[in-house]
């Protein structure tokens, strides 16, 4: 066994019929938060299902701390925490009852379950709502109780599918902070379309496209992908219409009679007042995946 928490994916391929959802993924995860970004159909869900042992790959292997997960069997499953995207929760269960139910499924003894549930409810700021029925919870509270159940049993690999989907900015920030807090001595893999939610907490981000990792790196490293390709242009509504026909538009803002257009291009348009804005991860996403999003 290797020191620390290590999850290694080697030459991983998965096929549905004749279509390859994954075409040979290689990556080594260690302690910290990882973001999975990519358009629909990129292979994010398939990769997560393989890591959580819900699917079997056609080719390649997954090892945990140096040992193939097939050899580890049930011992590996005890190291997995999973937070699904859908909030299909038991509406008539209280938060506490739901967590005890999940603890029983995970095989935790009652005394240990009680200790962990108390700590996790405090972590996700649901102590005061613990005895309320889940059917009365807001969307953000439901997401937080799902995070708590994923962390039951102290798993060393936690997979989260769209943890902030549909939430307001305040709840997104709260959940982002919880994920960061929970990442000590764990590998946390977060698949999301809300790019900004992982930009500030991820150790590394993986960009998936058509079943392959096309880029990966720390967020600040990935920002360099749009060096020399990101501009802001001042124009009017007629100029905006012309720019939309030839350039990838990232954002448009209007002030009085001036329109400021943020765009991605290999060569800036001529005849405009130009500036170079500070890049963010959404710019990188649009640059790498604009064709899939059209």
For residues 137 and 266, state if they share a domain: no
Q: Which tens digit of pLDDT belongs to each residue from 199-219?
A: 989 999 999 999 999 999 999
List the beta bridge partners of residue 25: 12
For residues 217 and 232, state if they share a domain: no
For residues 243 and 273, state if they share a domain: yes
Instruction: With respect to residue 284, please indicate whether it lies within any of the assigned structural domains.
Output: no
Instruction: With respect to residue 13, please indicate whether it lies within any of the assigned structural domains.
Output: yes
Q: Which tens digit of pLDDT belongs to each residue from 99-142?
A: 999 999 999 999 999 999 999 999 999 999 999 999 999 999 99
Instruction: With respect to residue 212, please indicate whether it lies within any of the assigned structural domains.
Output: yes
Per-residue pLDDT at 13: 96
Q: Which tens digit of pLDDT belongs to each residue from 41-53?
A: 899 999 999 999 9
Q: Last residue of a domain, which of 179, 202, 223?
A: 223
For residues 69 and 124, state if they share a domain: yes
Instruction: With respect to residue 289, please indicate whether it lies within any of the assigned structural domains.
Output: no
For the domain that residue 122 is a member of, what is the CATH number?
A: 3.40.50.300
For residues 115 and 48, state if they share a domain: yes
For residues 179 and 254, state if they share a domain: no
Domain housing 233: 228-278
Instruction: With respect to residue 283, please indicate whether it lies within any of the assigned structural domains.
Output: no
**Is the confidence at residue 12, as pLDDT, over 50?**
yes
Per-residue pLDDT at 294: 44
Instruction: With respect to residue 45, please indicate whether it lies within any of the assigned structural domains.
Output: yes
CA dist 205 to 114, 133, 140, Å?
Answer: 35, 36, 24
Query: String of b and e for 84-113 (b: at least 16 CB within 10 Å)?
Result: ebeeebeeebbbbebbbebbeebebeeeeb
Q: Which tens digit of pLDDT belongs to each residue from 13-32?
A: 999 999 999 999 999 999 99
For residues 96 and 168, state if they share a domain: yes
Q: Last residue of a domain, which of 202, 223, 244?
A: 223
Average pLDDT score over residue span 90-97:
96
Strand 80-83 and strand 248-255: the pairing is: unpaired
For residues 97 and 243, state if they share a domain: no
Residue-averaged pLDDT of the chain:
92
- Both tokens of 84, joined, read 């699904």
Q: Which of 283, 108, 271 is nearest to 195 (CA)?
A: 283
Per-residue pLDDT at 104: 96
For residues 56 and 69, state if they share a domain: yes
Instruction: With respect to residue 196, please indicate whether it lies within any of the assigned structural domains.
Output: yes
Find the length of the chain: 294
pTM summary value? 0.91
Q: Which tens digit of pLDDT belongs to each residue from 162-193?
A: 998 888 889 989 999 999 999 999 999 999 98
Q: Which tens digit of pLDDT belongs to each residue from 206-261?
A: 999 999 999 999 999 999 999 999 999 999 888 899 999 999 999 999 887 889 99
Per-residue pLDDT at 194: 84
Q: Considering its fold, how many domains does the chain have in total?
A: 2
Strand 6-16 and strand 157-161: the pairing is: unpaired
Instruction: Return the residue matching tokens 């967590």.
Output: 99
Per-residue pLDDT at 80: 97
**Is the confidence at residue 291, as pLDDT, over 60?**
no
Neighbours of 266 (CB within 10 A): 7
For residues 99 and 233, state if they share a domain: no
Using pLDDT thresholds of 50, 70 and 90, give the confidence band for residue 1. Answer: very low
Q: Last residue of a domain, which of 191, 223, 255?
A: 223
Instruction: With respect to residue 293, please indicate whether it lies within any of the assigned structural domains.
Output: no
Helix (H, G, I), strand (E, B) or coil at 56: coil
**Is the confidence at residue 3, as pLDDT, over 80?**
no
For residues 114 and 258, state if they share a domain: no
For residues 61 and 139, state if they share a domain: yes
């Amino acid at each position: 066994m290797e020191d620390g928490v290590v999850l290694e994916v080697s030459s991983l391929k998965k096929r549905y019929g004749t279509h390859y959802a994954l075409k040979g993924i290689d990556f080594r995860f260690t302690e910290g938060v990882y973001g999975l970004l990519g358009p629909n159909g990129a292979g994010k869900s398939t990769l997560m299902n393989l890591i959580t042992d819900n699917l079997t790959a056609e080719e390649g292997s997954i090892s945990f701390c140096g040992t193939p997960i097939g050899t580890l069997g049930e011992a590996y499953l005890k190291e997995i925490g999973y937070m699904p995207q859908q909030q299909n929760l038991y509406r008539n269960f209280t938060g506490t009852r739901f967590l005890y139910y999940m603890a029983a499924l995970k095989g935790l003894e009652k005394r240990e379950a009680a200790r962990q549930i108390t700590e996790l409810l405090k972590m996700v700021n649901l102590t005061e709502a613990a005895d309320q029925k889940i059917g009365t919870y807001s969307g953000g509270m439901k997401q937080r109780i799902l995070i708590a159940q994923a962390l039951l049993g102290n798993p060393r690999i936690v997979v989260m599918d769209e943890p902030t989907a549909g939430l307001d900015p305040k709840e997104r920030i709260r959940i982002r902070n919880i994920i960061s807090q929970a990442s000590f001595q764990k590998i946390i893999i977060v698949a999301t379309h809300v790019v900004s939610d992982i930009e500030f907490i991820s150790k590394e981000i993986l960009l998936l496209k058509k079943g392959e990792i096309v880029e990966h790196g720390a967020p600040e490293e990935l920002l360099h992908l749009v060096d020399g390709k990101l501009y802001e242009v001042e124009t009017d509504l007629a100029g905006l219409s012309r720019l939309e026909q030839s350039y990838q538009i990232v954002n448009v803002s209007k002030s009085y009679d001036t329109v400021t257009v943020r765009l991605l291009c290999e060569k800036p348009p001529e005849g405009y007042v130009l500036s170079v804005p500070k890049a963010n991860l959404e710019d990188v996403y649009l640059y790498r995946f604009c064709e899939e999003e059209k």
